[in-house]
Amino acid sequence: MFELAMVAAILMMIVIFAIAEPQFLSLRNVSNVLTQSSYLVLLACAQAVVILVRGFDLSLGGTVSLVSLTAALGMTMSGALPIPLGIALGVLTGLIVGLFNGFCVAWLKINPFIVTLATMNILLAISSTITGGFPVTNLPEGFSDMLSTAAPLGVPVPVIITAVVVFLLHLMLRRTRFGRSMFLVGSNPEAAYVAGISSRRILLWSYALCSVLIALGAILMTARTGSGEPNLGGALTLQTIAAAVIGGMSLRGGEGSMAAPVLGGFFVTILSNGMNLTRVDGYLQEVTLGVLIVAVLVLDRLRHRRTS
């Protein structure tokens, strides 16, 4: 129901932008939007994973920046297999961040909002000091080719990777015990615990999964820019929350599916691409996104008021 409305909204937006700016439907722009949205969709999936368990990850932007740097540093340090080493280092960074967030939320019972906000600060501080604020360049040649420009059968690699991740996540949520437990813990952690599910462990690994997915996204983005960037995260935190929520993730927890970050990711990317093409002022774009999030949350509230 909601998914259909989302698809309709996206189509309507496409029509409006196409009328306002014919360039919008050019082959180049369409392929560009598709690739661009794959990054946001992937990161929004990460965000959706923790929203599902009643959480948030405000440290997403910081994680992206730090992973970009550690992966790039791993690749530029001399080694036998620079690319795998860099990727491994990036994923490991994500895992550590996720376990830290998850531990604070699940064991220390600190509000996820506060935990990840603090983590964000820590990560940004580390990112801007380890390289003195400079990007890490001279990445191995194959890296960008492999993870950004390559397009087997005409489909860009980031799109393929995102599609595979979305499929696996969907399968995990619907058909595995871990995925099911995430829904139950998100819906009611006490009830899940009484039913024999270790709510704490599920929370911990949900945050870990979230940050590993972020690391994956950060590595793909690093491949696109061709360098490790301390500011790569930027406004991504808000954008991913916007995408997940606009796509239909409920902040009540225990509700939603991977359709939400996918549809939401497309929606936000198309919106900002369209606004760029129609030369909407940058600040106004930010305002639009903010207003949109609030509007969607109001809708979410109204939907739940009706059912309860």
Partner 1 sequence: MLELNGITKRFPGVLALDDVQFQLKPGEIHVLFGENGAGKSTLVNVMVGNHRPEKGSYKIDGKNMLGLSPAVARKNGVSAVFQEFSLAPSLTVLDNIWLGRELTKFGRIDRKRMRALAQAKLAEMRTNLPLDAITSTLSRAQKQQTEIVKALLQHARYIIFDEPTASLADVEVQNVLRIIKELRDQGVGVVYISHRMREIRELAERVTVLRNGKYVGTIEQDEIEEDRLVSMMTGRSMIELFPNVRHMPGKEVLSISNLATESGGVRDVSLEVRAGEIVGLAGLVGCGKGRVGRACFGLESVVEGNIFLKGVPVSPRSPSQMLKSGVCYFPSDRGAEGLCLNRPISENITMSDLDAPKTGKWGLIDLNRERERAQRAAERLKLSTDNMGTRVEMLSGGNKQKILLARALLRNFDLFIFDEPTVGVDIGAKAEIYQLMRDLTEAGAAILVISSDLEEVVHISHRIYSIHEGQVVADLREGAKTEERVLASFFGKQPDTETQEIAQ
Applying CB under 8 A, which residues contact partner 1?
A: 171, 174-177, 180-181, 183-184, 187-188, 190-198, 250, 252, 254-255, 306-308
Q: How far is the CB of 178 from partner 1 (least distance, A)?
A: 9
In the complex, least distance from residue 294 CB atom to partner 1, rounded to whole angstroms: 22
CB nearer to partner 1: give 46 or 192: 192
Q: Are 68 and 232 in contact (CB under 8 A)?
A: yes
Q: Do residues 260 and 248 touch, judged by C-beta distance below 8 A?
A: yes
Dist CA 54 CA 210 (whole Å): 13
Token pair of 208, please? Answer: 């870990």
CB 130, min distance to partner 1, A: 41
How is residue 241 written in tokens?
């929350």
Residue with Cβ nearer partner 1 (180 or 224): 180
Q: How many CB atoms lie under 10 A from the CB of residue 15?
A: 12
What's the alpha-carbon Rg for the chain, to the nearest Å?
19
Residues 50 and 47: their CA atoms lie apart, in Å, by 6
Taking the least distance from each CB to partner 1, the nearer of 78 and 308 is: 308
Query: Using CA atoms, how far apart are residues 219 and 226, in angstroms rounded to an integer?
Result: 10
Estimate the crossing angle of helix 27-52 against helix 157-175, to 10 degrees.
30
Residue placing its CB nearer to partner 1 in the complex, 214 or 258: 258
- For the bound state, the minimum distance from the C-beta of residue 187 to partner 1, rounded and expressed in Å, comes to 4
Kindly tell me the burial class for residue 73, based on how many C-beta atoms sit within 10 Å of its own C-beta (0-12, 13-18, 19 or more).
Answer: middle
Residue 134's region, left for phi above 0, alpha for psi from -120 to 50, else beta, is beta
